[in-house]
Amino acid sequence: MTEQELISLGFKKRIEEDMDIPFYYYTLDIVDGLHCITQADDEVKNDDEWSVELSFDCNPRIKFKDVKSLTELINLLNQNKDE
């Protein structure tokens, strides 16, 4: 998926400048304790090859490379929040 698709889904850009070589990545908070996170920009081969992982401890990791599947998951999670 592309960087623009991530932004359209509500992902926020996080910039890490404390390193020798600054980098950025994207995150999306679903609820406390459940987040989506991308790889760092220096790990992206082409602009359309961003991937997203769910941020919780599991093995194997769950990774999305398709914006349609990720959009469906985000919509399902947001629709079922117990607020």
For the chain, the domain total comes to 1
Sequence-distant (6+) residues with CB within 8 A of 16 are 22, 23, 24, 25, 40
Mean pLDDT across the chain: 89
Name the pLDDT band for 14 (thresholds 50, 70, 90): very high
For 50-76, what is each residue's pLDDT tens digit?
999 887 766 777 888 899 999 999 999
**pLDDT > 90? residue 9:** yes
pLDDT at 57: 67
pLDDT at 52: 92
Domain of 17, in residue numbers:
3-79
Q: How many whole angstroms separate alpha carbon 64 and alpha carbon 38?
A: 9
Q: How many whole angstroms separate alpha carbon 64 and alpha carbon 6?
A: 12
Chain center to CA of 3: 10
